[in-house]
Every structure is written in C-alpha cells, then in structure tokens.
C-alpha cells in the first residue's frame, strides 16, 4: 500500500476532483464505495445545500470522503470549515487560495488536509504549513486553472523532488495508463474530474456526457486569457459566443459574470448549451464509454499494472 492510500484509508490511489456546484453525492458515494476517495465540492453553494450533501453522503457510505473548499470562490469559508468540523468530515481539500490559515484548525479536529497547487513554490508553502497531501494540478485540467499554465508532465517531477509528503497528480488523467505515468513521475496517486463525469453515477445532463464521448483531442480550449483568467472548457455555442465577446473587448467583470457557477449548472446539469458552458479537461479525447465507477476503477488498476510491466520490459 502506498502512502496516499494509507494516509486516506482508501484502497485505490484515485481521488475525485471537487466539481464545484455540480458535484454529485451519488458519484462521490460510488467512488468511495469502490475504493477511491469521493469528494463533494462546495463551489458557491449555500451552507444548507452543502450540509445536506454531507449528510446525504454520510448516509450512503461509511468509507472516507472529502469536501473541497475553493477558498477564493466560496462566499463563506469560515462557516464551511465549521460545517466540516461539525460533521467530522475525514478529509478536506483546499484550492483556489492560500490554505495556510486553515490547516491547523482542521488538524486540531483530526481532519486530513489536501492542498491543491500549481507550482513548486506553492507546494513548498503548503507543506511547510502542515498539509498532509499535495494535489499538483497541470493546466490540462478542467475549469479554473493557474495562470502559470504548467503541464502535469513537467509539474509533477519538480514537485515530488522538492517535498516529502505524498503528491497526487491532476490534469490530463483518465485511465490506467495515465495513473501509471503519474506514478512514474513520482506521484503516489491521481485526481480525476472530467473522466468521472462520464460515468453512470454522475448526475449530469446526458448532453454533457455525450459531448465527452464525441470530443476529439482538440475540442477543449482555454477562455479568458485576455482578461487574466484561465478556464478550460469544452467547445459549445455559448463558449464560441463568449470568445467573440472577449475579442471584442469584454472586461474582466463581464467575463466573471458570464462564467459563474450559474452558467456552468445550465450547461452541465440542464443541458442548455446556448446559455451555459461545460468544463472539460484535455482528457476528453480519451473518453469512449460511460462505465460504472466500480468498472472504471477496476479497469484503471488493471491497465496501470499492465502499463508498468510493459514499461519495465521496454527498459
């Protein structure tokens, strides 16, 4: 058993990305039950909604799970921290901001802390602040990304040689080969978001899942660079119109208003591709089916072992 699995008390070294407001309790429960670490994303949801998701998830699995708090996105971070402490959530992942002020409080309540970072500098700071696990995310990943735009392939080995705690690779991973590659780079596990959208348990609109099945290798794109934002999405009518508006001089405030969780829910949950967008990582081009979570994780483990054997034979 690797350190990540031991630290989190999970069977497989696979973590579920938070997914913000569209996070699915059914999906998180299925991932935890299958041996990974399911996650509820808080996004911009209200406290009552987040609490309901936590209680629902606890009723569906007795296995470890996580709650993701996006620090600079969530409107009430302190209240969310109080909520996870109240419900004895075993693991919290902190993203989109400085995790340092919150780690000790979580540790005082026996909660493991994962810090999501996109550079060596931030990984070192999170480790020094007491984080238990680093999730290093390359800009192949879906949704809001770091403006540094470092790739997973280059980011993981630099971070793993710089810190001592377990590292999880995120961004561009959706199968066993990706898991094997991450392990070869020094990570001890992977975090996936987009691949879990295309599973039977994910409560997303069928149009979203079908777009992932149909996507080629070049159908995700970054929007927002012109206004200082980096968000990876899957091409649709709303995104194409948004890109046009950005090129015509859209301001940052307007861009933020056009890419809130409201528009994401419209696309991902309601299937409205005219008025909403859908996040997607570059891994979309690899997705060819919609398995159960159990089938996906078991297949990944077989693929990863085969990939490792093949690599060893090549050497």
Same domain, 198 and 275: no
In the chain, alpha helices (H)? 3-8, 25-34, 47-60, 77-86, 100-108, 120-129, 152-160, 176-184, 194-197, 206-214, 237-247, 252-258, 261-268, 293-314
Over the stretch 82-99, which tens digit does the pLDDT of each residue have? 999 999 999 999 999 999
Residue 297 lies in a domain: no
- Report pLDDT for 242: 92
- Report pLDDT for 172: 94
Determine the average pLDDT of the residues in 283-289: 95
Same domain, 55 and 184: yes
Flag whether pLDDT at 194 surpasses 70: yes
- Report pLDDT for 1: 64
- Report pLDDT for 313: 87
Over the stretch 142-192, which tens digit does the pLDDT of each residue have? 988 888 899 999 999 999 999 999 999 999 999 999 999 999 999 999 999
Flag whether pLDDT at 34 surpasses 90: yes
Over the stretch 109-134, which tens digit does the pLDDT of each residue have? 999 999 999 999 999 999 999 999 99
- Report pLDDT for 315: 84
Residue 192 lies in a domain: yes
Same domain, 232 and 165: no
- Report pLDDT for 171: 95
Please, how many CA atoms are within 13 Å of residue 217, restricted to the half-sphere of its CB? 0
What whole-number distance in Å separates Cα of residue 190 and Cα of residue 101? 26
Greatest C-alpha distance within the chain: 54
- Report pLDDT for 68: 96
Label residue 292 by pLDDT band (50, 70, 90). Answer: very high
Which of 35, 34, 38 lies closest to 1 in space, CA to CA? 35
Same domain, 187 and 274: no
For tokens 């159960």, the residue is 292
Q: Dihedral angle at the C-alpha atoms of 232, 238, 241, 246, nearest 10 degrees?
A: -40
What whole-number distance in Å separates Cα of residue 191 and Cα of residue 12? 11
- Report pLDDT for 73: 84
Over the stretch 200-228, which tens digit does the pLDDT of each residue have? 999 999 999 999 999 999 999 999 989 88
- Report pLDDT for 146: 87
Same domain, 113 and 234: no
Domain that holds residue 150: 3-202
Determine the average pLDDT of the residues in 260-270: 92
Same domain, 36 and 143: yes
Q: Given the DSSP bridges, would you call strands 231-234 and 167-170 parallel, antiparallel or unpaired? A: unpaired
Taking the model in full, what pTM does it have? 0.92
Flag whether pLDDT at 107 surpasses 90: yes
Same domain, 185 and 271: no
What whole-number distance in Å separates Cα of residue 289 and Cα of residue 216? 14
Are the C-beta atoms of 182 and 173 separated by less than 8 Å?
Answer: yes
Q: Dihedral sign for Cα 66, 193, 122, 263, please.
A: negative
What whole-number distance in Å separates Cα of residue 97 and Cα of residue 224? 19
Determine the average pLDDT of the residues in 268-295: 95
* Number of domains forming the structure of the chain: 2
| pLDDT over 90 percentage in the chain | 87
Q: Calculate the alpha carbon distances from 283 to 30, 69, 100, 140, 163 in Å.
A: 21, 24, 31, 8, 27
pLDDT, mean over the chain: 94
Same domain, 179 and 96: yes
Cα angle: 216, vertex 270, 33; to 5 degrees = 75
Q: Phi and psi for 245 in degrees, rounded to 5?
A: -65, -35
Residue 129 lies in a domain: yes
- Report pLDDT for 233: 94
Cα angle: 294, vertex 4, 25; to 5 degrees = 40
Are the C-beta atoms of 264 and 277 separated by less than 8 Å?
Answer: yes
For tokens 């590659």, the residue is 181
Same domain, 122 and 39: yes
For the record, the structure tokens of 44 come out as: 């911009």
Same domain, 15 and 117: yes
CATH number at residue 140: 3.20.20.70
Same domain, 64 and 151: yes
Residues with Cβ within 8 Å of residue 294, at least 6 apart in sequence? 30, 33, 34
Residue 190 parent element (H or E)? strand 189-192
Residue 311 lies in a domain: no
């Amino acid at each position: 058993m690797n350190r990540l699995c031991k630290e989190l008390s999970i069977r497989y070294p696979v973590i579920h990305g938070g997914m913000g407001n569209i996070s699915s309790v059914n999906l998180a429960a299925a991932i935890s039950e299958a041996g990974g670490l399911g996650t509820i994303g808080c996004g911009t949801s209200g406290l009552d909604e987040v609490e309901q998701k936590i209680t629902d998830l606890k009723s569906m699995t007795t296995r470890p799970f996580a709650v993701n708090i996006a620090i600079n996105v969530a409107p009430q971070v302190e209240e969310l921290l109080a909520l996870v402490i109240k419900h004895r959530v075993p693991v919290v992942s902190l993203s989109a901001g400085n995790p340092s002020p919150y780690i000790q409080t979580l540790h005082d309540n026996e909660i493991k802390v994962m810090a999501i970072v996109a550079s060596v500098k931030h990984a070192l700071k999170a480790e020094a602040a007491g984080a238990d696990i680093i999730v290093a995310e390359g800009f192949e990943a879906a949704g809001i990304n770091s403006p540094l735009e470092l790739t997973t392939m280059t980011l993981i080995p630099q971070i793993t040689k710089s810190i001592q705690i377990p590292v999880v690779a995120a961004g561009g991973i959706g199968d066993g080969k990706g898991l094997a590659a991450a392990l070869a780079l020094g990570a001890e596990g992977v975090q996936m978001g987009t691949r879990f959208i295309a599973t039977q348990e994910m409560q997303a609109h069928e149009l979203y899942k079908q777009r992932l099945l149909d996507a080629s290798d070049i159908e995700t794109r970054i929007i927002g660079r012109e206004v200082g934002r980096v968000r990876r999405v899957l091409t649709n009518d709303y995104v194409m119109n948004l890109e046009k508006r950005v090129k015509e001089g859209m301001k940052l405030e307007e861009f933020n208003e056009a890419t809130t969780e409201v528009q994401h829910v419209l696309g991902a949950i309601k299937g409205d591709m005219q008025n909403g967008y859908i996040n997607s990582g570059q891994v979309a081009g690899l997705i060819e089916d919609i398995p159960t979570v159990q089938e996906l994780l078991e297949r990944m483990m077989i693929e990863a072992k085969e990939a490792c054997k093949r690599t060893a034979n090549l050497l």
